[in-house]
């Protein structure tokens, strides 16, 4: 084990995969300079600007270039600076990358990894703070992962790069400088496998990305009130490991789903619907969601703090479930 930041773990994963496989290329705006947060810093020095390629400021062009490279046998990793800007590349990603394997009858593999960062952090306002994972999870042919700690960040990224299908790898920038232990060696985390991070008996808390830390803190706070919370990190939004979640809910009888995206149409709604299909008669109270308001993210630091869901709202929601009972 070695302690690394989330950002360092992603960089290490990229470096290892580029060293292992000469078909791995990195494309994006300013990637040879390190990108906006320094994730790709040093890669151009180690692998050259023929494999760490600066691109024009045109997300659609970059995505199309990478899809073409994937069909030709490379394993491109595309960096889109902010998930807000992936909207400019959705035609290429949704209508081509996600569908070419199916439409070619399996003749075209698209081993494409798309790195995007998301989330509410640093008062960057409505154009740089969204969480759009539910848009991407709605597309057949795309896999969507959201790590919450450095070990999973490295392991999921390496798994994504080796996958023969498109994977959108979503990084919450609020996690970049958080530290954690990362296994040494060739560490891989399977796509589509959730992690039970805290065992509990009375309520299941399912949390995504930055909200995982808030959920774990909430579990500690709830324990002081005699409530034992099980915390699950799906890690993968599509495919979703619903089996692990359902098994937990059948044990606890209660569930809260927490994510930073707005509540309406969020991943929490999908998780809620599927759990009710498989565990309705095990539930002792309605499933509750903790999410952001249905509004653009404010730029004011004070308003952003109020906008952001967190530990307090998770605890309140859990206690509300027991009031129902």
Which pLDDT score is estimated for 129? 84
Q: Residue 124 has what pLDDT? A: 83
Residue 126 pLDDT: 85
| Res. 324: pLDDT tops 70 | no
What is the fold of 2-182?
A: Rossmann fold (3.40.50)
Helix (H) or strand (E) holding 242: helix 242-252
53's CB contacts (< 8 A; 6+ apart) are: 25, 26, 27, 28, 31, 32
Q: Residue 172 pLDDT > 70, yes or no?
A: yes
Integer-rounded Cα radius of gyration of the chain: 20
Return the pLDDT at 150: 98
pLDDT digits (tens, 9 = 90+) for 126-143: 888 899 999 999 999 999
Question: Per-domain residue ranges for the chain?
Answer: 2-182, 195-324
Average pLDDT score over residue span 77-97: 95
Residue-level pLDDT at 255: 98
Query: Which tokens is 186 given?
Result: 């060739």
Place of tokens 């070419």: 100
pLDDT at 200: 97
Handedness of CA 59, 60, 63, 66 (dihedral sign): negative
Q: What is the distance between the alpha carbons of residues 152 and 59, in angstroms, rounded to a whole number?
A: 27
Question: What global pTM score does this model have?
Answer: 0.96
Assign 185 a pLDDT band (cuts: 50, 70, 90): confident
**Mean pLDDT over each residue of the chain, to the nearest integer:** 96
Same fold, 2-182 and 195-324: yes
Report the topology of domain 195-324.
Rossmann fold (3.40.50)
Give whole-number Cα distances, 54 to 39, 88, 128, 258, in Å: 14, 18, 21, 36
pLDDT of residue 112: 98
| pLDDT of the residue at 325 | 60
Section 151-168 average pLDDT: 98
In DSSP terms, 53 is beta-bridged to 27
pLDDT tens digit sequence for 54-67: 999 999 999 999 99
How far is it, in rounded angstroms, from Cα 108 to Cα 105? 8
Model confidence over 265-295: pLDDT tens digits? 999 999 999 999 999 999 999 999 999 999 9
pLDDT reported for residue 121: 85
Nearest to 165 by CA among 101, 119, 111, 214: 111
Distance (Å, rounded) from C-alpha 112 to C-alpha 92? 12
The reply to whether omega before 17 is within 30° of 0 (cis) is no
pLDDT value at 249 more than 70: yes
- Picking from 30, 29, 37, the residue whose alpha carbon sits closest to that of residue 60 is 29
pLDDT value, residue 117: 94
Mean pLDDT across 8-12: 97
Distance CA 114, CA 300 (A): 30
**Contact present, 294 and 167 (Cβ < 8 Å):** no
- Per-residue pLDDT, 64: 96
- Considering only CA atoms, which of 253, 254, 257, 246 is closest in space to residue 314? 257
Cα–Cα dist 267/199, whole Å:
23
- Catalytic residue numbers read 128
Percent of the chain with pLDDT over 70: 99
pLDDT value of position 44 = 97
């Amino acid at each position: 084990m070695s302690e690394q930041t989330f950002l360092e773990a992603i960089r290490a994963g990229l470096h290892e995969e580029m060293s292992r496989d000469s078909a791995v290329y990195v494309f994006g705006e300013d990637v040879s300079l390190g990108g906006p947060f320094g994730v790709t810093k040093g890669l151009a020095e180690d692998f050259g600007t023929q494999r760490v390629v600066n691109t024009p400021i045109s997300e659609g062009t970059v995505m199309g270039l990478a899809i073409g490279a994937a069909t030709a046998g490379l394993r491109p990793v595309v960096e889109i600076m902010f998930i807000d800007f992936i909207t400019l590349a959705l035609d290429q990603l949704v209508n081509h990358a996600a569908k070419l394997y199916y439409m070619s009858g399996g003749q075209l593999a698209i081993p494409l990894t798309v790195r995007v960062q998301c989330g509410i952090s640093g008062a960057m306002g409505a154009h740089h703070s969204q969480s759009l994972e539910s848009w991407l999870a709605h597309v057949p042919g795309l896999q969507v992962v959201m790590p919450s700690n450095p070990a999973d960040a490295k392991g999921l990224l390496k798994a994504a790069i080796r996958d023969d299908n498109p994977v959108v790898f979503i990084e919450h920038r609020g996690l970049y400088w958080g530290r954690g232990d990362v296994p040494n060696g060739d560490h891989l985390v399977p796509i589509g496998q959730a992690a039970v991070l805290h065992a509990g008996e009375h309520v299941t808390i399912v949390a995504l990305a930055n909200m995982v830390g808030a959920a774990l803190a909430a579990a500690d706070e709830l324990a002081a009130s005699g409530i034992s919370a099980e915390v699950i990190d799906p890690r993968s939004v599509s495919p979703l490991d619903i089996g692990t979640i359902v098994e937990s809910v059948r044990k606890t009888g209660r569930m809260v789903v927490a994510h930073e995206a707005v509540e309406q149409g969020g991943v929490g709604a999908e998780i809620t619907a599927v759990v009710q299909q498989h565990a309705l008669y095990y539930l002792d109270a309605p499933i509750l969601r903790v999410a952001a308001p249905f509004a653009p993210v404010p730029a004011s630091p004070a308003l952003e703090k109020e906008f952001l869901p967190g530990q307090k709202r998770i605890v309140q929601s859990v206690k509300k479930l027991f009031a129902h009972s």
